[in-house]
Amino acid sequence: MAFYLSFLCVVCVVNVSWAQIYSALYDEKTSRLFLKEGFQPDSVAVANFTSDINNTGWAYLEVSTSGGYNDTLQAYAAGVVEAVVTSEVSLQTESEQYAPH
């Protein structure tokens, strides 16, 4: 029990970074993209967003696409996964910008 309590105290004191990974997959039957959390090997695009803003002031975004799909679909899928993984930070930034000071 002592370990559990000391672990909780450490987590409360230290700001840790967090990450989100989303994949965009293509459904050939419907010709539509759909999203899945995590890395999916057969995806059109994958985005990995790591926020370390509380510790370093920086966030990191990696987006990759599969050359097995046409360029237009790759570009669109890359934008979709980027929007999904960065939406929370975008909303936080916007609310801080317009919040009364």
**4-14 pLDDT, tens digit each:** 333 333 333 34
Contact criterion met (CB below 8 Å) for 29 and 21: no
Give which of 30, 62, 24 is closest to 42, Cα–Cα: 24
- What average pLDDT does this structure show over 12-24? 71
Mind listing the pLDDT tens digit for each residue in 47-81?
Answer: 999 988 888 989 899 999 999 999 999 999 999 99
pLDDT of residue 90: 52
Averaged pLDDT score across all residues of the chain: 79
62 domain residue, yes or no = yes
19: containing domain: 15-95
Structural domain count of the chain: 1
**CATH number of the domain that residue 77 is part of:** 2.10.70.60
